[in-house]
C-alpha cells in the first residue's frame, strides 16, 4: 500500500468511491509511514493516531451509508501548528504555547471536518510563523525530503515537507510573506496563497493580521483547487472576511482554457536570482508563449521598497498581537517571578525564541512615540503604492509570472544572518502587501536535484483563473510526479 502515499486527492477519492480502499486503510498507511520517517524529516510536532483512525472509520461508515461528503471525505490532511483544532495541541512551535490545547476549531478546521477530511497531525513551522527555513521552531528544525541536510523553507516548512515525503495527502499552511509559496518551491509541491479575505483567519494564531492568510499545499493544482473550494468563503467570525460567491474551482480548471496575457516584472529577474532558477523559469515562459499566450515585460517600480515595508508592518503587528502572551492568562508562566512585572518579563523572556524577540523589539520600536510617523505610517503609505503597481500592471496583463524563491533549498545552519533569511522572501512579500492571490508550482530541478518553483500572481479574487493558468503548465510537465530518493527508498523499505 506504500504507493498510496504519493497519490493525489483526486486519485485517492476515486479509489475510496469504488471501495478499492477504505479511509481506515489509507490512514493507517500514513500513520505507519510517518512513524517510520518523521524522526528524520520532523514535519510533525505531534499527531494522534487514534483520533485520526476514528475520523477515518466515521468516513467509511458515511460512505457505506451513501452519505459521502465529496472528494475530501476520508483523505488525511495535515494542519500547520498555528491552526486551531479542538482538543489538539496548538503550540505555534513555541515554548510559550508548548502545553496549550485548543478549546475550539478554526473556521478552516470546521470546514475541513464538514468536508469529511481526516485531520492528521500538527505540522512543524518557524515559531509563531516567523521565519523562512523552519529552523526557528522551538521543537527542532524540519528537513527537506529532497536533501535531509537542507531546509524545507518556512515558515510552513513542515506542511511542505509532509506532502513531499508522503506523510500527508495535503496540508494547510499560513502565508504572511511567502510562508506557503517559498517552502512549496523548495520542497517541489504546489502552494497556494489566496486573496486576503477569501479564507477566514479565525482560529489562526496571529502574526501580522493584515498580511496573514491560510492556504493549501498539495501535490497538484487540481488538489489545491479542491482544498480551496472546501475552506474558502465568508465567515462572520472574521471581520476581514470577504462576501463573495465561491465557484467550483476544480470544475473551472477546464472551463478557462486561455490563452492569457502574462506579465514578467523586470524587478524580479535581476541581481540575486540563482542562474539555474532563472533558466527554469525562462523555460516556463517559453512554454506559455508556445501555448499562444501574450508575454510582455511590465514594471512594479516600488518593488525595491517591499522588504523594508514588510518588515516594518509585519513586526509592528506582531508586537501588538503577541502582547497577549503575558504569563497570566495562558501560555508559558515563569515559576520564579517575584512580582507582576517580573512575571511578565520572565515569562516572555523564557517563552519566546530569538527571532520572535527580535521582531517584537523591532515592531515595538516602529510603533513607539516619536517613530510611528517616520516608520509605520510611512510604510503603510508605501504599501498603497506597491498595491497600485500591481493593479496598474493588471490593466495590461491577466497575471504575473516570476520565480518563487531566488535560491534553492540551502543547508541547515547555512544562513545564520537574519537579513540573509529575510531576502529569501524577496519575490513573495509584495503579494501579501498587496493582498493578492499567488501560487507556486514546480518547474524543474537544479543540477544538484533540488526543486525549483514558478510563481504565478493573479488578480484579486480571481483564483479560478490563477489555478487554470497553473494547471495548463502542470498538465504538460511531470515535475509533480517526481519523488525524492529518500522517500522512494523509504517506500520500498
Phi, then psi, of 46 in degrees rounded to 5 = -165, 160
pLDDT at 489 over 60: no
The H or E element spanning position 201 is none
pLDDT at 492 over 70: no
155 is an active site residue: yes
pLDDT at 491 over 70: no
- Average pLDDT of the residues in 280-293: 97
179 is an active site residue: yes
The domain ranges of the chain are 2-301+385-492
The H or E element spanning position 285 is helix 275-290
Per-residue pLDDT at 493: 42
The band of 490, judged by pLDDT with boundaries at 50, 70 and 90, is low
Count of residues making up the chain: 493
Per-residue pLDDT at 2: 64
Name the CATH superfamily, with its identifier, for domain 2-301+385-492: Amidase signature (AS) domain (3.90.1300.10)
Q: What is the pLDDT of residues 4-48, one digit of tens each?
A: 999 999 999 999 999 999 999 999 999 999 999 999 999 999 999
Q: Which of 155, 156, 200, 241 is catalytic?
A: 155
Q: What is the pLDDT of residues 295-307, one digit of tens each?
A: 999 999 999 999 9
Cα–Cα distance, 223 to 2 (Å, whole number): 20
Q: What is the pLDDT of residues 357-388, one digit of tens each?
A: 999 999 999 999 889 999 999 999 999 999 99
Cα–Cα distance, 88 to 390 (Å, whole number): 40
| Percent of the chain residues topping a pLDDT of 70 | 98
Q: What is the pLDDT of residues 116-138, one digit of tens each?
A: 999 999 999 999 999 999 999 99
Cα–Cα distance, 396 to 260 (Å, whole number): 11
Q: What is the pLDDT of residues 134-189, one digit of tens each?
A: 999 999 999 999 999 999 999 999 999 999 999 999 999 999 999 999 999 999 99
pLDDT at 486 over 90: no
Pairing of strands 190-193, 214-218: antiparallel
Per-residue pLDDT at 419: 87
| Percent of the chain residues topping a pLDDT of 90 | 94
Q: Which of 94, 179, 200, 440 is catalytic?
A: 179
Strand order in the sheet with 438-445: 44-46, 118-123, 76-80, 170-174, 214-218, 190-193, 438-445, 451-457, 399-403, 261-265, 294-298
CB distance 227 to 115 below 8 Å: no
SS (H, E, C) 37-78: HHHHHCCEEECCHHHHHHHHHHHHHHHHCCCCCCCCCCCEEE
pLDDT at 329 over 90: no
Cβ atoms within 10 Å, residue 268: 20
Per-residue pLDDT at 256: 80
pLDDT at 488 over 80: no
User: CB neighbours of 398 closer than 8 A, spacing ≥ 6?
Assistant: 260, 261, 262, 459, 465, 469
Q: What is the pLDDT of residues 44-92, one digit of tens each?
A: 999 999 999 999 999 999 999 999 999 999 999 999 999 999 999 999 9
492 is an active site residue: no
User: What is the average pLDDT score of the chain?
Assistant: 96
Q: Which of 80, 193, 346, 415 is catalytic?
A: 80
Q: What is the pLDDT of residues 410-437, one digit of tens each?
A: 999 999 888 889 999 999 999 999 999 9
Residues 115-124, buried b or exposed e (16+ Cβ, 10 A)? bbbbbbbbbb
User: Cis omega before residue 155 (within 30°)?
Assistant: yes
Per-residue pLDDT at 443: 98
Cα–Cα distance, 352 to 283 (Å, whole number): 43
Per-residue pLDDT at 257: 76
Amino acid at each position: 500500500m506504500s504507493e498510496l502515499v504519493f497519490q493525489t486527492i483526486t486519485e485517492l477519492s476515486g479509489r475510496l468511491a469504488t471501495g478499492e480502499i477504505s479511509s481506515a486503510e489509507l490512514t493507517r498507511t500514513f500513520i505507519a509511514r510517518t512513524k517510520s520517517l518523521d524522526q528524520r524529516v520532523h514535519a510533525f510536532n505531534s499527531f494522534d493516531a487514534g483520533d485520526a483512525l476514528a475520523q477515518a472509520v466515521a468516513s467509511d461508515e458515511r460512505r457505506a451509508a451513501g452519505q459521502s461528503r465529496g472528494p475530501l471525505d476520508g483523505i488525511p490532511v495535515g494542519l500547520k501548528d498555528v491552526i486551531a483544532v479542538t482538543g489538539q495541541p496548538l503550540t505555534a512551535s513555541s515554548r510559550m504555547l508548548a502545553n496549550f490545547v485548543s478549546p475550539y476549531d478554526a473556521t478552516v478546521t470546521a470546514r475541513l471536518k464538514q468536508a469529511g477530511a481526516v485531520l492528521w497531525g500538527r505540522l512543524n513551522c518557524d515559531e509563531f510563523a516567523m521565519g523562512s527555513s523552519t529552523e526557528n521552531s522551538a521543537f527542532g528544525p524540519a528537513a527537506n525530503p529532497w536533501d535531509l541536510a537542507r531546509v524545507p523553507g518556512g515558515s510552513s516548512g513542515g506542511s511542505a515537507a509532509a506532502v513531499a515525503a508522503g506523510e500527508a495527502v495535503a496540508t494547510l499552511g499560513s502565508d504572511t510573506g511567502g510562508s506557503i509559496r517559498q517552502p512549496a518551491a523548495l520542497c517541489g509541491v504546489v502552494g497556494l496563497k489566496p486573496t486576503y479575505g477569501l479564507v477566514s483567519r479565525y482560529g489562526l494564531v496571529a502574526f501580522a493580521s493584515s498580511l496573514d492568510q491560510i492556504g493549501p499545499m498539495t501535490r497538484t493544482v487540481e488538489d489545491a483547487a479542491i482544498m480551496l473550494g472546501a475552506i474558502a468563503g465568508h465567515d462572520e467570525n472574521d471581520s476581514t472576511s470577504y462576501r463573495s460567491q465561491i465557484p467550483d474551482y476544480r470544475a473551472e480548471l477546464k472551463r478557462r482554457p486561455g490563452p492569457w496575457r502574462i506579465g514578467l516584472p523586470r524587478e524580479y529577474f535581476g541581481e540575486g536570482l540563482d542562474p539555474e532558477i532563472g533558466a527554469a523559469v525562462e523555460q516556463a515562459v517559453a512554454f506559455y508563449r508556445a501555448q499562444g499566450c501574450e508575454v510582455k515585460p511590465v514594471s512594479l517600480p516600488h518593488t525595491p521598497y517591499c522588504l523594508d515595508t514588510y518588515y516594518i508592518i509585519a513586526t509592528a503587528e506582531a508586537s501588538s498581537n503577541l502582547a497577549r502572551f503575558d504569563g497570566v492568562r495562558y501560555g508559558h508562566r515563569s515559576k520564579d517571578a517575584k512580582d507582576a512585572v517580573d512575571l511578565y518579563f520572565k515569562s516572555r523572556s523564557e517563552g519566546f525564541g530569538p527571532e520572535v524577540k527580535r521582531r517584537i523589539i523591532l515592531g515595538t520600536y516602529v510603533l513607539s512615540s516619536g517613530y510611528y510617523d517616520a516608520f509605520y505610517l510611512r510604510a503603510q503609505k508605501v504599501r498603497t503604492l506597491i498595491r497600485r503597481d500591481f493593479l496598474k500592471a493588471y490593466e495590461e496583463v491577466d497575471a504575473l509570472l516570476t520565480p518563487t524563491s531566488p535560491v534553492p533549498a540551502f543547508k541547515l545552519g547555512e544562513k545564520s544572518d537574519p537579513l540573509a533569511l529575510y531576502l529569501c522572501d524577496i519575490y513573495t512579500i509584495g503579494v501579501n502587501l498587496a493582498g493578492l492571490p499567488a501560487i507556486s508550482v514546480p518547474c524543474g530541478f537544479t543540477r544538484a536535484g533540488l526543486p525549483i518553483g514558478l510563481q504565478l500572481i493573479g488578480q484579486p479574487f480571481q483564483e479560478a483563473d490563477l489555478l487554470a493558468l497553473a494547471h495548463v503548465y502542470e498538465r504538460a510537465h511531470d515535475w509533480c510526479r517526481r519523488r525524492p530518493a529518500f522517500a522512494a527508498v523509504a517506500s520500498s523499505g
